[in-house]
Amino acid sequence: MPALLLRGVVKRFGSLTAVDGLDLDVPQGVVLGLLGPNGAGKSTTMRMLTAQSLADEGQIRILGHEVPAESKWVRARMGVVPQHDNLDEELTVEQNLRMFSYLYRVPRHRRREAIARAMRLAQLSDRGATQVDDLSGGMRRRLLIVRALLHRPELVLMDEPTVGLDPQVRQDLWGVISALREEGVTVLMSTHYIEEAERLSDEVALMAGGRIVERGAPADLVATYAGTTVEEYQPGPEGTSAFEALVHGHGFTTRRTGTTVSVLRAEKLPDSLRDRLGVPQRRAANLEDVFVTLTGETVE
C-alpha cells in the first residue's frame, strides 16, 4: 500500500485550473520531492492532502484512508509542516512542543521523551526555556518541523519547508529531513529549490501546469535528459535561432540561459560540430536542465 495515492485529482479556482488531473503515488519510506516553479500547483496539492481544500474531481488516499472522508484518521498518523510560521511566539520552545503533544494525543508517559527527542532533532536542547519570539529564523523553522514529529507520524508533508531562508540555515534544516529518512518516515516535500530536491529526495516528481510531467531518481533523470556535461555558448553574428537550428539539426537539445545557449549531453558532441560552435563554458548537467527541457519553465 503506498503512503499516498492520488488519481485524476483536479482543483479549480473559477476559470483557473490549479491542479489538472494529477496522478501521484508515494511508496512508504521514501522522500519524494515535488519540484516546480511558483504556480505549478504544489501548495494547492498540499492543501488538498490535508483537507484544507477539497478536490473538484479525483481520488485521494493517504495511508489507506480516503480524504476528506477519513481525514480524522489521516491526521492522527501524519505530520504537517506548513509553509508559513504559525508558532505561538508568547510561549517557550518547550511550551510550544508540550501544547502540540496534547493536540497530537501523545500518551502522558511518552510526552517527556517525545519533547526531548524533538528538541534534539531541532538542535534546540539548550533552548527549551527560550521564548519563540527570541529565536532566530532558522531556529524557528527547525522548531516548526520537529513540532510535526512529536507523535512519530508515518508520513510527513512539508510545504516549501526552507522558503525564504538563507543558504546556511537551509542546509541546517536539511539535516533534520535527512534524519527522518534514516528513521524510515515517508516524506512528501514540495520545493522550488533545485539543490534541495537533488540532495534530499530519493525520487523527484517534476510538476508544471498542475500535473506531473516526469518522475524518477534525480541522478537518473539528469542522465536520461541532460547527460553528464552541459556546454554554454555565446551565439555568433548569425544569431541565437540559427545557432539553435544548427545544434538541433545534429540531434542535440538546447536551453537558453540569459544571453547564452546551453547544449545538453555535450559530452557526445562530435568535434566537427563543436569546432563550429565556438569556445564554451563547461559545467555538470543538473536537474534544472531536465526541468526546463521538459516544461520550458524555470525554477530557482
Q: Give the rounded percent of residues in the chain with a pLDDT score beyond 70.
A: 98
- pLDDT at 300 exceeding the cut of 70: no
Looking at residue 17, what is its pLDDT?
96
Mean pLDDT (the chain) is 91
The per-residue pLDDT for range 92-149, each reduced to its tens digit, is 999 999 999 999 999 999 999 999 999 998 889 999 999 999 998 888 988 998 999 9
Residue 290 within a domain: no
Count of structural domains within the chain: 2
**Same domain as 188, residue 249:** no
CA-closest candidate to residue 144, choices 155, 132, 153, 152: 132
Residue 180 within a domain: yes
Residue 289 near residue 232, CB atoms below 8 Å: no
**Same domain as 248, residue 169:** no
Q: What is the CATH number of the domain that holds 245?
A: 3.30.70
Residue 158 near residue 190, CB atoms below 8 Å: yes
**Same domain as 152, residue 86:** yes
Looking at residue 253, what is its pLDDT?
94
Residue 105 within a domain: yes
Residue 122 within a domain: yes
Residue 118 near residue 146, CB atoms below 8 Å: yes
Residue 63 within a domain: yes
What does the pLDDT average to over 188-199? 87
**Same domain as 249, residue 115:** no
**Same domain as 53, residue 193:** yes
3-state secondary structure of 73: helix
State which of 198, 217, 236 marks the end of a domain.
Answer: 217
Residue 297 within a domain: no
**Same domain as 231, residue 117:** no
The per-residue pLDDT for range 14-68, each reduced to its tens digit, is 999 999 999 999 999 999 999 988 889 999 999 999 999 999 999 999 999 999 9
* Better-predicted residue by pLDDT, 167 or 251: 251
219: left (phi over 0), alpha (psi -120 to 50) or beta: alpha
Domain span holding position 43:
4-217
The per-residue pLDDT for range 167-187, each reduced to its tens digit, is 777 777 788 788 888 888 899
